[in-house]
Chains A and B, each alone.
Chain A
Amino acid sequence: MPGQIMADERKLQRDREFHAEALRWLPEVTRFALSLTRDESDADDLVQETYLKAYEAWDTYTPGTECRGWLFTICRHSFYRRRLREERQVTCDDPELEALAAVAVHASARQGGYADLFARFDLSEAIDRAIAALPEAFRDVVLLVDVNDQSYEAAADTLDVPVGTVRSRLFRARRLLQEALIDHARDAGLVRAQTDAGANRHES
């Protein structure tokens, strides 16, 4: 039955492509899933779901295009489908104005004595909490670009938004994170000792 042999050949070819193009990104997809779920067993479920869906939909993947971004898209959709959708409408500001707003955050950090906040203190848990508290659209770009080291273009591809939207959301998200972390440092009294010592020196 030559027809059957042809079909088998095609399936084998398709499976070979899946191994070569999709399964090679397993470590990256795992890392992305971990950053979304923040829980290893949830991440395992999410990675498996992602790959099963990818295998089912493999015929819709265009060979030679960015397969990692395609997998990230499936992974992200699967993750959010399990949770209540948040409001997706986000106001989109001029990225360059957002970039300039970072100057004001830095100025206020310096005034508060937090200029070396990120270099001096271990803020790991506060960073995780602050990322988790971001609105979904902002969290997505931070996880893709800042935690998973994706370019603006790759993130735009995964999120299916223009690169300009990635930039403005990313810069805004960074400002929100910095403000949250500076608030955290102030509440936790992270630099009080240093400021007091400076004040004492000044008085004596």
Chain B
Amino acid sequence: MNERLRSMASHRLFWPVAVLVVMLAVNTIYRPGFLAVEVNNGHLYGTPIDILRLSAPLILVGLGMTLVISTGGIDLSVGSICAISGAIACLHISQAPDQNSLVTVFTALAMALGAALVLGAWNGVLVSVIGIQPIIATLILMVAGRGLAQLVTEGQIITINSGPYRALGLGHLLTLPLAIFIALGAALLIAALTRRTALGMIIESVGGNREASRLAGIRSARMVFLVYVVSAACAAVAGFMMTANVSSADGNNAGLWVELDAILAVVIGGTSLAGGRFYLSGTILGALIIQTLTTTVYAMNISPQTALLFKAVVVIAVCLIQAPEFRAKLGRRRRGGPPSPSSAPQPQKEEVTA
């Protein structure tokens, strides 16, 4: 391996990019027309565009999840929040006399977003004030949230017929799907909020060592609270897109398992589940990888049940690769045989700080 290649391989986005490229290549071999994009009515169409469009909700949820995971937490309730916010928005629109009125749609979005913020605050309070383990605290809403969504929709699937709302999922802007711009806008906003200010460092600090951060004068609890609210807001917008895609709100199935995908996206992107450093660009790549994976699975006619299993296997594999112990074991096995005294720099075997 030459020097250039090695330094490239050590870049933290190297593996995500490599995986994405390999997946696209496999698809192209399997289906030569895979990468084709055509212009129709001034809009771009094609599988790559679909992947971008469909990954938008996952990118959104993933961004919020990145911040939560960075603080050492996890948010399992995002799928339920997607369903609830989508249901509230659709319910309001369905009851309005003119479903195409912008005022109606914006009121619906504001109401749903408001509800999501309340739910996020609920998670935040459970974790930061009461001190419940994040996985348990958000599990509550993950389960109860589906019930809430059912309550909103009264157990029915609410169907709407609203042009402006549908545009959130299917509309176009400058030849590209509107959803891509929304996701990109959210990414830029969060990036600016965290990297242009000191917020990002402070969140990483809380995730890296909460007590030390508190003693350095950081309001750790407040930061933890904040990330759950942001995560819920992201999930709400994702919920709008999901329901807009199908012009209907299904309390049972909207955003189902998106938390798993989001966590996977975050981990593939290089943010450690143990908290600390976070990488927004990595998460976006991770989301694209997962959407490509999903699209591939459908394109190859693998049944949805198997698809879930398939993804779960990938989650496990990625987590393993991320664990220093596992990497060390692999490295040792690969080296094999009796230890040779002059082998190349060996991987660190175990974390024991100085």
Chain A bound to chain B = no
Residues of A within 8 A of B (CB): none
Residues of B within 8 A of A (CB): none
